[in-house]
Structure 1
């Protein structure tokens, strides 16, 4: 008889967990995976996929308005129907979840759609059936969960990004609490769907950790789009008014009334109640599983990938971590994920795309930097009449001439940065950018035509 029931038990069927399960099974491992919610995880079910579809819907408002400058006349004013969008997105999420399940079945991964809890270093208990399964290796890939930190009186009257996709009706007024990318993406898209949006954030500016020039320009662009900001402000409590609306009482300034309060103040690793402490697994201050470069915890048989480790909380990172773990543990190919140069995007309107170090980060790391930047009105706006600006910035190490940071604010910024990230990851220099022939007319050509450093 085999020493263990399975070679690998994966807790959490999101992007990282399913990738690890499928790759491990392909290497010949006996694999079982458990998911307490819908298969697909945060990204597919309640994160980047449905959110991006909502973003697409919100941008049609600009397209309808811009069309007039190009000779198009709409017979009547476009009308937006929230239930149509909400239900279409829900159907697409269901389809994708089914594909994830089909992929697991095709890879001969045994699926348990119930909550799993760790009993010890090699034992998992399935809560609904009560079945206990022994495993040579356990992989925790349970992701993150929205948090209201610190908790406040009436906090239960708010909703999180989990529930925002299922609102019964489009609110007239929305208060978004938070200044990170999740808060701003929802603030941006709901404002374009016709909602009066206020963003309340305790910091003095939005998007902490991003390049300062991008932060300021994005805030100004969102204000131009009609979003109100209350910065340097916190909420003391939330109450429900007689008509069902919410009133947020702030530490400073007047209270804010809204039909919906969306709390997007961050996410915490989803480790509560998993039995990790019982198994002796060390956790960090936010509840994250502490792992090494190979995604191994202090308990040799227990690993973790994705947001539950609070390293780089992005879906493609979780996928690569899961793949690296499975290849290294079951495929005889040892490799680890380099977390040092990862492109990311913020799907506000305008969009943010970035890879590498911000100017502030580069200086703090000891680089002598040269900064190249370009701000311009995109070609489309010259005829549409829209007050829109695109901004691009290169951060260059003056000694090596390497481009160590690229930051873009504008249409398709994420698409542009994905391509330029290849060059930056390979160590391209500013001279490499300069000798690249521009593609004209395009916004991206600015990246290879900037010649004069700022303040030179």
Structure 2
């Protein structure tokens, strides 16, 4: 058995910088990766999807160029070129990440599959077929999550895709049916619709985006429907049947029947913890398999930590990276940072995008806070009018007594960037009435925060 100072399992957006920081602090560290460095973000998530979304955006701009006085009579979509560009971007990011790990003094990158076999004992089946046993005082789990494959009658006999395999589809689907209306489902639906697919999205709940306010969810749905996407709500899949290749019968709880060429399963993700055999080292997991941690990201086993999507909580790359920041500062700089009360923020990369930070209106109501809602349609934003980007709205929740910004939803062009302006204001405790009177450069999307908060005069 080889004794180390620290072991990191998984090279995602938290594990990679953490392993480097540990090694640079003088700890003899090994990072174990079973597939490719970079985790979901680089290989299956942010990097490839946003690259392809940009290509689909280019197709959309060309299609609507006539509105701007540019007459493009026809154009074609070259899917192999889109896939090749995506693969090139992913490979560059992955290779740079791998090089950074390999060049870090005191850090060893080990390719293989890790399994707990005892208290802080890890067996690694390496890619060369050999097995090595490791142990360390400090162990960090960053194994992430993978697509959930729901139990649907007939699924075992049907060809289907998940959010990973769809990124390498060899042809543009004639009719893409998406099971679930998650954030990635909506992004992928719009992407392939813009590449030429007929797209149907199936959501078993009564509306999409239940974590968003209803007006925001409706605005997103209207936007997608306006591009020709069909959205079925209150519609669970009751049966799937493969009729012939690229012809799948989809039966819904509403008694509707669809015929799909391709099926995308996008109804959630599950943590990659079971294969680690967490019980062998005494780790507690919840009923879904998430590894339980305290506010300092430590598990019930002293010295073992979990970060990123394998633990409960919002599954976003920036959360995983912030987990790394907390662990680095607490373990190496001897601070006492916590996950409690850190702001919830994210961006859904539909076009236009949805940036969210803090509380929604429905959450403020549940907490019985005194608040005012201010909103502004993008059709009244000068920059939006000038660029032709008038879909969506800006919305903020403001504490009625203190003028503190409690949260915001920005659905529009540069929505994530405008959300970040508000995030910084919230972190710096800049009040909504101060933003209302602040000078912004003209004409920017952020400048319309003046007009958004101008409504506080009548509030």
For the criterion TM > 0.5, the same-fold answer is yes
Counterpart of 1:148 in structure 2 is 149
Look up the SS of the partner of 2:254 in the other structure.
coil
Q: 1:329 to 1:119 in 2, by over 3 A?
A: farther
Counterpart of 1:452 in structure 2 is 455
Of 428, 431, 451, which aligns to 1:429? Answer: 431
Of 295, 298, 305, which aligns to 1:296? Answer: 298
Over the aligned positions, Cα root-mean-square deviation in angstroms equals 2.1
Cα offsets for 1:368-391 (capped at 9, x unmatched): 1101111142657757878x4230
Counterpart of 1:276 in structure 2 is 278
The 5 A counterparts of 1:129-278 are 129-154=130-155, 157-278=159-280
Look up the SS of the partner of 1:113 in the other structure.
strand
Cα offsets for 1:325-361 (capped at 9, x unmatched): 1332244344334553132111112211111100010
Counterpart of 2:69 in structure 1 is 71
Deviating beyond 4 angstroms after TM superposition, the runs of 4 or more aligned structure 1 residues are 378-386, 453-456
Look up the SS of the partner of 1:409 in the other structure.
strand
Counterpart of 2:18 in structure 1 is 20
Shift in Å, 1:301: 2.3
Q: 2:103 aligned with 1:101, yes or no?
A: no
Q: What CA distance in whole angstroms lies between the structure 2 residues aligned with 1:198 and 1:16?
A: 35
Higher relative contact order (CA 8 A, sep 6+): 1
Q: Is the 8 A contact 1:69 1:383 kept in 2?
A: no
Q: 1:382 to 1:257 in 2, by over 3 A?
A: same
Q: Is the 8 A contact 1:27 1:331 kept in 2?
A: no
Shift in Å, 1:152: 3.8
Q: Is the 8 A contact 2:121 2:281 kept in 1?
A: no
- TM-score for the superposition, normalised by structure 1: 0.94
Look up the SS of the partner of 1:15 in the other structure.
coil
Of 196-205 and 346-355, the range deviating more from structure 2: 346-355
The count of corresponding residues between Structure 1 and Structure 2 is: 452
Shift in Å, 1:68: 2.7
Q: 1:243 to 1:82 in 2, by over 3 A?
A: same
Q: 1:152 to 1:330 in 2, by over 3 A?
A: farther
Counterpart of 1:328 in structure 2 is 330
Q: 1:332 to 1:201 in 2, by over 3 A?
A: same
Q: 1:159 to 1:380 in 2, by over 3 A?
A: same
Q: What CA distance in whole angstroms lies between the structure 2 residues aligned with 1:182 and 1:35?
A: 25
Shift in Å, 1:365: 1.4
Counterpart of 2:4 in structure 1 is 6
- TM-score for the superposition, normalised by structure 2: 0.93
Q: 2:313 aligned with 1:311, yes or no?
A: yes
